[in-house]
Chain A
Amino acid sequence: MKYFDRLHPLPAFVYFLMILLLTMFTSHPVAVGISYFSALFFCGMLLGVKKLFASLAYTLPITLLIALANPLFVHRGETILFFLNDNPVTLEAILYGVQSAFMIMAVFYWCRNYSRVMTSDKFIYLFGRILPKLSLIFSLSLAFLPKLKRKYREIDRAQKALGFYAGKSRFDKVRAKMRVLSILLTNSLESAVTTADSMRARGYGLKGRSSFALYRVTPADMAFLAATLLAGSALVVMLFFGVGDFHYYPAMSKLSWSPLFSCFVLIFALLAFLPTASEIREDLLWHRLRSKI
């Protein structure tokens, strides 16, 4: 992560907001696919390919599960494959399930990228003045899960050292893990209270308290913001006029490439792959400059 480290928090925040909203409100499978793969690529750039594949090992089964859940509850659609307890299981419902599963996973990976890029100091820099309480709670809760994971490992190891996992039975092991979870819960509740007290003691959110952050708006930041807003608003207008419309029931609509729709896909792809492209460009630049020295 080179480019997004130096990017001003405002363009980065606007970008993530835009791509998340667009991913959630498009109904077209091509747009969902673009969003999913661009989120994966960017995640690979940020966390490394190894970690990306490790996360895919558990998100792909979840994707499959979500996709298969839809035809169990929705029986609409023309093409009936078979009947399950007198209820039709249709091809359209399965395909819709697949699309919504990938949409949810795209949102998941974009949120993951968001939390990697928009660290809590950046978020508080943006919203600390306007919404001091909300931004603090937001950044605390976002930091909560990684902190919880770390704490869990700590307690787990301490319990092991105390000799609590002596039993060979799997059942006993599960029970021991339950104890760890209960300790974790108590611990985190206490730490939340402590954090709030500590922030108040330091005068967070009081009038006249100033803070310092080293973010300066550069022309490149402005260009990134302008590109995001331009592409995003163009896509929103197109969505509003029904350019990316797609429906599954009773029959799936055909993939037709009208000029306007090609335009939609092109702009969406440009917007979605903008972060990946920026990172790659920065990497190339760095290599070129280094080789000259």
Chain B
Amino acid sequence: MKKDLLALSVLVFLLIALFSGTRIQSVEDYYLTHIDDIQKDSETVFLTVRCDSVFAHWEDLDPVLAEGSYLPQDGIVLARTEYVLRPGDTVYDILNRAMRYNKIPMECAYSIGYESVYVQGIHHLYEFSCGELSGWMYQVNGVFPNYGCSRFELSDKDEIVWIYTCDLGRDIGAGGGWQR
């Protein structure tokens, strides 16, 4: 009987650990994020998200996305907007806050090999949605850093652009190989 109690308590402990780790939020709660107001002395960055390269590779695009009204007409998911930079903010933090604030769906995954967050899709446009060389890339001050977006720490007045590529970056001017 003692052994039974032991096994039962281990099971209960595991269940508690599982449920204490999960947090359920309603859609309204999730999108109710706080964006800092821009003060005179606050540090800021600019963020743009666009996918106009899709129009040049329309024949490769997933037919579901091509038929439906999922893509913005002009290819601009988020026009250039100024956001307050909190100390230690990375490119990912800014993107996540902006997408949440504007209620644009986004999906990303943490990749252990690169020790960074990888953005899989923004606004229903995912990696591989437009040919097998397609996906989201980011640019800071006109340069493609070619490493994970949650490892890039931003500084004042940085210019971030997230661009959708259909050809591994070659169609949007990002040559060169990958850096870890």
A residues neighboring B (CB under 8 Å): 75-76, 78, 80-88, 168-172, 247, 249-251, 253
Contact = CB atoms under 8 A, between A and B. Distances in A.
Interface in B41-97: 64-65, 68, 70
Contacts of B2: 169
B18 to A, nearest CB: 12
A85 B21 CA distance: 8
B24 A82 contact: yes
Interface residues of B, number: 24
A85 B22 contact: yes
Given A84-B22, A169-B3, A171-B3, A76 B121 contact: yes
A177 to B, nearest CB: 14
B134 to A, nearest CB: 16
B124 A250 contact: yes
B7 A170 contact: yes
B25 interface: yes
A171 B30 contact: no
B132 interface: no
Contacts of A82: 24-27
B165 to A, nearest CB: 20
Contacts of B22: 84-85
Interface of B: 1-4, 6-7, 21-27, 29-30, 64-65, 68, 70, 105, 107, 121, 124, 126
Contacts, number: 57
A83 B25 contact: yes
A86 B30 CA distance: 8
Given A76-B121, A169-B1, A169-B4, A250 B64 contact: yes
Contacts of A88: 30, 105, 107
A76 B2 CA distance: 47
Nearest 3 Cβ contacts at the A-B interface: A171-B3, A250-B124, A83-B25
A84 B105 contact: no
A250 B1 CA distance: 53
B109 to A, nearest CB: 10
A87 B120 CA distance: 13
Given A75-B107, A250-B124, A251-B68, A170 B4 contact: yes
A170 B2 CA distance: 10
Contacts of B23: 84-86
Contact of A76 (B26, B30, B126): B126
A39 B155 CA distance: 62
Contacts of A86: 23, 25, 30
Contacts of A251: 68
Nearest to A253: B64
